[in-house]
Amino acid sequence: MSISIPDLVSVRARHPEAIAEAAGRRVRRPLIGDSGRLMIVAADHPARGALGVGDHRLAMANRADLLERLCTALARPGVDGVLATADILEDLLLLGVLDGKVVMGSMNRGGLAGASFEMDDRFTGHRAEDLERLRFDAGKLLLRIDYDDPGSLRTLEATARAVDDMAARRLPVFVEPFISRRVAGGIRNDLSREAVTRSITIASGLGGTSAYTWLKLPVTEDPDDMAGALESSTLPAVLLGGEVGRDQEAAYERWRKALRMPTVQGMVVGRSLLYPAEGSVETAVDTAVSLL
């Protein structure tokens, strides 16, 4: 699909109500379709200032290019939907590509990449009431926990309240938990079995009910440890894709092993499919779908 930025800008400037009208017309679907699996393409990185892909620090900064990649991915067989912030989802609504797709809103993007307050991850994106009003299908939130940073406690409390707000509306919320720490001025997520297990148990217990809570989890650094980590909860889970790596085949093999686990229901993958290290978006998406 060829993206016309002037057309999108014109609609936004002259007819902003078109966004709500498009949301109202959108054809919805169940969260889990006939395949019994879930394949979601993620594009909520830019709102946290995380624009880099591999060695290209501003890869996701070109909105027309990003939208073209998203439209290509959403058109591939087996892709169930998209995760993004309001601005991107509204562009996709205006482009008319979200009918019959799962639409997942990103809820907290306040922990800007590289900021001193990165662990105080405020809810600056979709609220539960926004997702309900727009007839979106789910929400997602990021929960990084650094035992040495008080900002993590504020994020924990806000996350619990978001879980409550989503459950009150019977909307699924996907919690993406990590045990994290600062290393050389940056944030490093601990992907050991112990850390992933601990993050799962913390996330599973947040809020007054876990009835609508899903987990969005990384694969452990040793893929053979993933089964043990997943034994710590009965909540349904999806795998996250993570950074673009040079050895994409190894990443596919890690996903393939983890997808055999009984709680894993699918994948939410972003940059590694939208900006593959090798090959086209179509090939990368089709390969990921084949793993399901």
As a whole number, the mean pLDDT across the chain is: 94
**Domain span at 268:** 35-291
Tell me what pLDDT residue 241 has. Answer: 80
Task: Please indicate, yes or no, if residue 24 is contained in any of the structural domains.
Answer: no
47-74, pLDDT tens digit by residue? Answer: 999 999 888 899 999 999 999 999 999 9
Residue 254 — very low, low, confident or very high, per pLDDT cuts 50/70/90? confident
CA atoms of 47 and 250, how far apart (whole Å) = 29
Tell me what pLDDT residue 1 has. Answer: 66
Judge residue 262's burial from the number of C-beta atoms within 10 Å of its C-beta, 0-12 exposed, 13-18 middle, 19 or more buried. exposed
CA atoms of 282 and 292, how far apart (whole Å) = 16
Tell me what pLDDT residue 184 has. Answer: 86
Tell me what pLDDT residue 85 has. Answer: 98
72-96, pLDDT tens digit by residue? Answer: 999 999 999 999 999 999 999 999 9
Task: Please indicate, yes or no, if residue 17 is contained in any of the structural domains.
Answer: no
What is the DSSP annotation of the chain?
Answer: ----HHHHHHHHHH-THHHHHHHHHPPP--SS-TTS-EEEEE--SGGGT---BTTBTTGGG-HHHHHHHHHHHHTSTT--EEEE-HHHHHHHHHHT--TTSEEEEE----S-TT-TTTTS----S--HHHHHHTT--EEEEEEEE-TT-THHHHHHHHHHHHHHHHHHTT--EEEEEEEEEEETTEEEEE-SHHHHHHHHHHHHT-SS--TTEEEEEPPPSSGGGHHHHHTT--S-EEEE--S--S-HHHHHHHHHHHTTSTTEEEEEE-HHHHS-SSS-HHHHHHHHHHH-
Q: Do the beta carbons of residue 226 and residue 220 sit within 8 Å?
A: yes
| Between residues 136 and 35, the one the model is more confident about | 136
Task: Please indicate, yes or no, if residue 230 is contained in any of the structural domains.
Answer: yes
Tell me what pLDDT residue 34 has. Answer: 84
Task: Please indicate, yes or no, if residue 9 is contained in any of the structural domains.
Answer: no
Q: What is the CATH number of the domain that holds 149?
A: 3.20.20.70
Tell me the percentage of the chain whose pLDDT exceeds 90.
86
Task: Please indicate, yes or no, if residue 5 is contained in any of the structural domains.
Answer: no
Q: Do the beta carbons of residue 22 and residue 93 sit within 8 Å?
A: yes
* pTM for this prediction: 0.95
Average pLDDT over residues 120-124: 96
Task: Please indicate, yes or no, if residue 273 is contained in any of the structural domains.
Answer: yes
Q: Do the beta carbons of residue 196 and residue 229 sit within 8 Å?
A: yes
- The answer on pLDDT for 252 being more than 90 is no
Residue 250 — very low, low, confident or very high, per pLDDT cuts 50/70/90? confident
Residue 119 — very low, low, confident or very high, per pLDDT cuts 50/70/90? very high
CB atoms within 10 A of CB 200: 22
Average pLDDT over residues 8-23: 97
Average pLDDT over residues 14-33: 96
Task: Please indicate, yes or no, if residue 27 is contained in any of the structural domains.
Answer: no
175-232, pLDDT tens digit by residue? Answer: 999 999 999 878 999 999 999 999 999 999 999 999 999 999 999 999 899 999 999 9
Task: Please indicate, yes or no, if residue 29 is contained in any of the structural domains.
Answer: no
- Structural domain total, the chain: 1
Structure tokens at 137: 């299908």
Tell me what pLDDT residue 174 has. Answer: 98
Average pLDDT over residues 4-10: 95
Dihedral sign from CA coordinates of 181, 109, 124, 197: negative
